């Protein structure tokens, strides 16, 4: 059971109908009159037998109309100079609803969602064929729903054959996701509020976990606290939680979460929740004993210095990879000072330099409706320049896995894995750390760990 502070009231804002309509219109303005835009849902996916994974719709569908139900397709077309959105949905079905839950259905979609018309998904094939007659370019991203892909492809093939006879019909299929990604990359004030809430809840969940941690606890039990706190706040995880103790903290995407934290090692938890589709992504690393050993403290301080310097580099006008270069430089300087790297700074930072042995990933990624959010990092081959409204993670780390056979790790540093990750909104006034409620200073962590007793 969590205390009162563990519940954080959700914001009063949500994405309005106006905002959805504005997103749609912004996209339509980039299209041609004879385009047909198709946005498909993710398919439901079997876990085993007749049990399915919890369903989450495709982020482009969420972005354009907020529709969460499975078996849905959004189609937009232009007629008489105006764009019309048609949503194909699962129709109401009392028997299915008794078993699996209420459905908005066709009537609900038309009344409460920002679309112009709704039909049963059972009519998709027939209506799609008619819509294809009237378009010249189909905008459809293949690869996320094989059933809809095959429907679109076969309709396209037969219609483009008929084009020879009728003189009209589709000529090409193009992927529209790059255009939508470009829009999703810049967050609106409401999106930022939703992300801030996910970040606050995730920060609180990390704090609750640190407070309850004790030597002898299982990684899975720490996972239960952190995810329990997400659920306490009505949220779910944005990606499977990583809870690694000791050597497991040196495995970047460790997911087994089944070891006991039974010594004086570091616990690395990379976990974040999702609110209204928007993700938070936080990593904290701290000693299960409640006190950093001297080697742990030394490595932690290097990573923390690198992270703070990288956050300071998240400013309007900087290249998206400036925080990465900054973090790498501070990490290399720190490791040289500790005698772990015996090369010069330039050598350590080179492609074949020693830093890569201990720091082998990038320093951040866009975050939004997807934890690894969309947005081209190098448009036209040049590094993206940061703009106000972009949100990026900053997550340097150092990993000294003694289990590895590609490096020699001295006993002093063996088994230390540290990553510190925050989510940073770029603003005209400078970096705004959405996850700032989650402590990361050594003293603050030591004061929190195990303090729930």
Binding residues for Mn ion (CB under 5 A): 270, 281, 393, 421
Q: Should residue 191 be labelled a site residue for ligand GLY when binding is judged by CB under 6 A? A: no
Q: Should residue 281 be labelled a site residue for ligand GLY when binding is judged by CB under 6 A? A: yes
**Of 113, 110, 72, whose CA–CA distance to 90 is shortest?**
72
- Supply the minimum distance, in Å, between the C-beta of residue 365 and ligand GLY: 6
Please say if 33 is a catalytic residue: no
When the beta carbons of 6 and 242 are compared against ligand GLY, the nearer one is 242
How many residues of this chain interact with ligand GLY, rule: CB under 6 A? Answer: 7
SS3 assignment, position 432: strand
426 binds, among ligand GLY, Mn ion, none (CB under 5 to 8 A by kind): none
**Catalytic residue chosen out of the listed positions 4, 50, 352, 405:** 50
Longest Cα–Cα distance of the chain, Å, equals 79
Secondary structure letter of residue 267 according to DSSP: E
239 binds, among Mn ion, ligand GLY, none (CB under 5 to 8 A by kind): ligand GLY
Quick check: 431 and 415 in contact, CB under 8 A? no
Which positions from 216 to 255 touch ligand GLY by CB under 6 A, shown as an x/- string?
A: -----------------------x----------------
**149's tokens:** 């892909």
Q: Cα dihedral angle (209, 451, 196, 271), rounded to 10 degrees?
A: -20
Please say if 255 is a catalytic residue: no
Please say if 119 is a catalytic residue: no
Q: Should residue 423 be labelled a site residue for ligand GLY when binding is judged by CB under 6 A? A: no
**Catalytic residue chosen out of the listed positions 395, 422, 423, 446:** 395
When the beta carbons of 216 and 240 are compared against Mn ion, the nearer one is 240
When the beta carbons of 169 and 368 are compared against ligand GLY, the nearer one is 368
Please state whether beta strands 266-271 and 282-287 pair in parallel, antiparallel, or not at all (unpaired): antiparallel
- Supply the minimum distance, in Å, between the C-beta of residue 123 and ligand GLY: 40
Choose which of 60, 69, 270, 370 interacts with ligand GLY (CB under 6 A).
270
When the beta carbons of 40 and 371 are compared against ligand GLY, the nearer one is 371
When the beta carbons of 207 and 242 are compared against ligand GLY, the nearer one is 242
Across 23-40, b (16+ Cβ under 10 Å) vs e yields bbeebbeebeeebbbbbb
CA distance 254 to 244: 7
- Supply the minimum distance, in Å, between the C-beta of residue 133 and ligand GLY: 44
Quick check: 335 and 398 in contact, CB under 8 A? yes
The DSSP bridge partners found for residue 154 are none
Quick check: 278 and 194 in contact, CB under 8 A? yes
Please say if 365 is a catalytic residue: yes
220 binds, among ligand GLY, Mn ion, none (CB under 5 to 8 A by kind): none
When the beta carbons of 209 and 393 are compared against Mn ion, the nearer one is 393
SS3 assignment, position 69: coil
Choose which of 193, 395, 422, 446 interacts with ligand GLY (CB under 6 A).
395
Q: Tokens 């900053």: give the residue.
A: 394
Please say if 206 is a catalytic residue: no
325 binds, among Mn ion, ligand GLY, none (CB under 5 to 8 A by kind): none
Quick check: 430 and 315 in contact, CB under 8 A? yes
Cβ atoms within 10 Å, residue 245: 25
- Supply the minimum distance, in Å, between the C-beta of residue 192 and Mn ion: 18
- Supply the minimum distance, in Å, between the C-beta of residue 281 and Mn ion: 4
When the beta carbons of 240 and 379 are compared against ligand GLY, the nearer one is 240
Name the closest residue to ligand GLY (Cβ).
270
- Supply the minimum distance, in Å, between the C-beta of residue 421 and Mn ion: 5
**Catalytic residue chosen out of the listed positions 208, 227, 247, 270:** 270
Please state whether beta strands 73-79 and 82-89 pair in parallel, antiparallel, or not at all (unpaired): antiparallel
Please say if 444 is a catalytic residue: no
CA distance 11 to 442: 31
Task: Enumerate residues 6+ apart whose C-beta is below 8 A from 403.
Answer: 247, 250
Phi-psi region of 169 (alpha: psi -120 to 50; beta: other; left: phi over 0): left
Task: Enumerate residues 6+ apart whose C-beta is below 8 A from 443.
Answer: none
When the beta carbons of 15 and 374 are compared against ligand GLY, the nearer one is 374
Please say if 56 is a catalytic residue: no
**431's tokens:** 């970096």
**Catalytic residue chosen out of the listed positions 421, 422, 423, 446:** 421
Q: Tokens 């980039």: give the residue.
A: 30
**Of 304, 273, 307, 308, whose CA–CA distance to 196 is shortest?**
273
- Supply the minimum distance, in Å, between the C-beta of residue 361 and Mn ion: 9
Active-site residues, by number, are: 50, 253, 270, 281, 361, 365, 372, 395, 399, 419, 421
> Interface residues with ligand GLY (CB under 6 A)?
239, 270, 281, 365, 371, 395, 421
């Amino acid at each position: 059971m969590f205390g009162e502070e563990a519940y954080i009231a959700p914001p009063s804002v949500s994405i309005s109908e106006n905002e959805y309509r504005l997103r749609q219109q912004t996209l339509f303005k980039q299209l041609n009159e004879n385009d047909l835009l198709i946005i498909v849902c993710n398919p439901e996916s079997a876990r085993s037998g007749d049990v399915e994974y919890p369903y989450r719709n495709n982020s482009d569908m969420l972005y354009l109309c907020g529709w969460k139900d499975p078996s849905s397709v959004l189609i937009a077309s232009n007629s008489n100079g105006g764009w019309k959105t048609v949503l194909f949905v699962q129709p109401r079905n009392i028997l299915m609803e008794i078993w699996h839950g209420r459905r908005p259905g066709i009537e609900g979609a038309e009344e409460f969602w920002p679309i112009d018309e709704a039909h049963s998904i059972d009519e998709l094939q027939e209506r799609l064929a008619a819509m294809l007659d009237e378009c010249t370019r189909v905008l459809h991203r293949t690869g996320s729903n094989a059933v809809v892909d095959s429907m679109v492809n076969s309709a396209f093939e037969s219609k483009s054959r008929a084009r020879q006879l009728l003189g009209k019909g589709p000529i090409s299929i193009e992927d529209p996701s790059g255009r939508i990604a470009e829009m999703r990359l810049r967050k609106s004030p409401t999106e930022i509020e939703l992300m801030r809430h996910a970040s606050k809840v995730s920060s609180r969940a990390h704090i609750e976990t640190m407070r309850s941690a004790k030597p002898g606890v299982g990684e899975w039990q720490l996972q239960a606290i952190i995810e329990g706190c997400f659920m306490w706040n009505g949220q779910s995880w944005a990606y499977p939680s990583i809870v690694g103790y000791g050597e497991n903290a040196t495995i970047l995407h460790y997911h087994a979460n089944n070891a006991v934290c039974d010594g004086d090692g570091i616990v690395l938890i990379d976990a974040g929740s999702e609110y209204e589709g928007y993700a938070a992504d936080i990593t904290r690393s701290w000693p299960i004993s409640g006190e950093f050993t001297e080697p742990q403290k030394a490595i932690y301080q290097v990573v923390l210095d690198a992270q703070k310097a990288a956050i300071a580099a998240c400013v309007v006008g900087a290249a998206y990879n400036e925080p990465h270069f900054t973090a790498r430089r501070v990490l290399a300087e720190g490791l040289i000072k500790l005698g772990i790297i015996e090369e010069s700074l330039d050598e350590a930072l080179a492609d074949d330099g020693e830093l890569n042995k201990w720091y082998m990933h990038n320093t951040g990624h866009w975050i939004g409706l997807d934890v690894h959010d969309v947005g081209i990092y190098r448009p036209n081959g040049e590094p993206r320049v940061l703009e106000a409204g972009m949100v990026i993670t900053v997550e340097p780390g150092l990993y000294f896995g003694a289990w590895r056979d590609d490096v020699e790790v001295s006993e002093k540093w063996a088994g230390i894995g540290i990553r510190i990750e925050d989510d940073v909104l770029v603003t005209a006034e400078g970096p705004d750390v959405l996850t700032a409620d989650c402590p990361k200073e050594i003293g603050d962590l030591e004061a929190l760990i195990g303090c729930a007793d």
